Structure 1
Amino acid sequence: MGIKSFQGARKQQQNTVEAPAFKVSDYMSRELIYFKPEQTVEEVIQILIRNKISGGPVVNDNNELVGVISEGDCLKQISESRYYNMPMEQHIVENRMIKNVETIDGNMNIFDAANKFLESKIRRFPIVENGKLVGQISQKDVLKAAIALKGQNWK
């Protein structure tokens, strides 16, 4: 004699609620302090100090990303200027900026972006759409996203 189940047939449950995509574009900064290639390094230093930031993107007149300049790039300039006894006023961003800039896609998942930060040791990534700078995501933005998401997902 076999065992009979008294449970009826179960309906296949449909999962109609999709988890929202936590995209970089939802957490990136859109209002950026950016620099122009022709600005002096001295101007950049003043802007970095005044705005309490450690660097920023460099864009041309078409708002296309052409580089990034950071405190470290400015420090190199100060060090070399003193060593070679050269005035700083002549030195422009274009000669000091990093030109080969790694970017992040605005559609990337915020958790994948966190991994990219860990792998690269970079503190901020510009976001470019159709060749134009549209935003920037920093490690701090990812941390803010994690705190915001904690209340929604984590137990």
Structure 2
Amino acid sequence: MLRSVQLKDYMTARTVTINAEAEMAEAIKLIIDNKISGLCVVDDSGRLAGILSELDCLRAILSSTYNQDKIGRVRDYMASENLVVANPHEDITDVAQDMLLKNKRRRPVVEDGKLVGQITCRQLLSAVMAFNS
């Protein structure tokens, strides 16, 4: 059975983050080393600045190879406009439905303007499995 319906009880609070000024090589290493599909990009005060996915990293590598240039910085490839975020007190099923509707695998969780976690499809699946047990 679900412990609650609030997102905060299922989200990952220890989100792997990176700064927009970091080199893409550092971001790629973080993604590979942590076996995750993307990173939340934060500013120096912990505010969400964007999201960087594996596909963004692949785009950076291919662009670099094609143009025979350096890979660049995170800010050059991250998504930063029209970011959809969640609040830790939102209903987990509402967030899951919206993620399905928007075809997104992860959603940053923000409270008072600061990143406090992330919810992914993996956590949602775990919550549903716990509910069905």
In the superposition, the TM-score normalised over structure 1's length comes to 0.80
Aligned CA distance change for structure 1 residues 34 and 117 (closer, same or farther; 3 Å): same
Cα distance change on mapping 1:80 and 1:25 into 2, 3 Å: same
Residue type matched to 2:110 in 1? V
Instruction: Select the residue among 61, 71, 74 that pairs with 1:93.
Output: 74
Q: Which runs of 4+ in 1 moved over 3 A?
A: none
Secondary structure class of the residue paired with 2:13: coil
Partner residue in 1 for 2:126: 144
Structure 1 residue 87: Cα displacement: 2.3
Code of the residue aligned with 1:122 in structure 2: it is K
Unaligned runs of 5+ residues in structure 2 are: none
Q: Does 1:124 align with 2:67?
A: no
**Structure with bigger RCO (C-alpha 8 Å, 6+ apart):** 2
Aligned mates of 1:20, 1:46 — CA distance in 2: 35
SS at 1:53's partner residue?
coil
- 2-side partners of 1:131 and 1:119: how far apart? 24
What's 1:110 paired with? 92
1:68-106 per-position Cα deviation (integer Å, ceiling 9, x unaligned): 111111111111111111122xx1111111002211122
Structure with greater strand percent: 2
List gaps (5 residues or longer) in structure 1. 1-18
Which segment is superposed worse, 101-110 or 26-35? 101-110
Q: Quick one: which of 55, 66, 74 aligns to 2:49?
A: 66
- Which of the residues 67, 87, 103 maps onto 1:84? 67
Q: TM-score, normalised by structure 2?
A: 0.92
Q: Secondary structure at the match of 1:119?
A: helix
- Number of residue-to-residue matches in the alignment: 131
Partner Cα separation in structure 1 for residue 130 and residue 47 of structure 2: 31
Q: Tell me which of 22, 41, 46 is aligned to 2:29.
A: 46
Q: Report sequence identity in percent.
A: 35
Matches within 5 A, 1:26-37: 26-37=9-20
